[in-house]
Amino acid sequence: GHLSEEGHNGVEFNAATNCWARNLRSLNSDNPIIVWRSSFCTMDNIILSTTTSRGTFDAHHGFNVTLSQDVLTSNFQIPFQSYHDLSIYAYVQGVVFANGTGRNINMDSHRLYPYGTLWSNIILGVGSRAFRSSGETPWSQFHSSWGTFWNIRA
């Protein structure tokens, strides 16, 4: 099913508080890093990679933060293209993506009132889909107040 493929996901924080993952490499994962219903979590120095290309998209998500607050993802590398490289969804607050690089990163908002997200010092790579977001139209706008894009480069 969607986002629940057994054995194909990486690290997941689910209903966790004050947690971290650092100095990790995720290989061939469909959803390498998932933060779900969690707070005060840090992901630092994470490299996502594949052994061979799967086509246009090599993963579903790169980093996915949902129903969470005060989450920092920094010093990351995404050398392939996911459907949603850096993804926020559903009432997230205080999420930061900083100091990252990728092949063709998109900063995806799945809607449902993401508040106060900071995207900082990110090298997008190709840069052809930086703001391509998804989510259902009834789920409101892509971003609520205090969403900030700073030092984003292609």
Q: pLDDT digits over 56-72, tens only?
A: 899 999 999 999 999 99
- pTM of the full predicted structure? 0.92
Q: Name the band, by pLDDT with cuts 50, 70 and 90, for residue 73.
A: very high
Assign 145 a pLDDT band (cuts: 50, 70, 90).
Answer: confident
152 pairs with which residues across the strands? 122
Kindly state the percentage of the chain with pLDDT values over 70. 92
Specify the pLDDT at position 5.
57
Sequence-ordered list of residues with C-beta below 8 angstroms from that of 109, at least 6 positions apart, any chain: 87, 88, 89, 117, 133, 135, 142, 143, 147
Work out the average pLDDT over 50-58: 89
E runs forming strands in 28-91: 31-36, 39-49, 59-66, 69-78, 82-89
Between residues 60 and 38, which one has the greater pLDDT?
38
Q: What is the pLDDT of residue 90?
A: 92
**Which amino acid, 100?**
G
Give pLDDT, residue 82: 93
Q: What are phi and psi of 137, to 5 degrees?
A: -55, -40
Token readout for 145 is 């107040």
Burial 69-104 (b: 16+ CB within 10 A, else e): bbbbbbbbbbebbbbbbbbbbbebbbbbbbbbbbeb
Q: Which residue has the higher pLDDT, 58 or 43?
A: 43
Six token digits for residue 146: 């205090």
* pLDDT at residue 78 tops 70: yes
Q: Are strands 82-89 and 107-109 parallel, antiparallel or unpaired?
A: parallel
Looking up tokens 């977001």, which residue turns up? 133
Q: For all residues of the chain together, what is the average pLDDT?
A: 92
Encoded tokens for 76 = 């990351």
Residue closest to 66 by CA, chosen among 2, 150, 124? 2
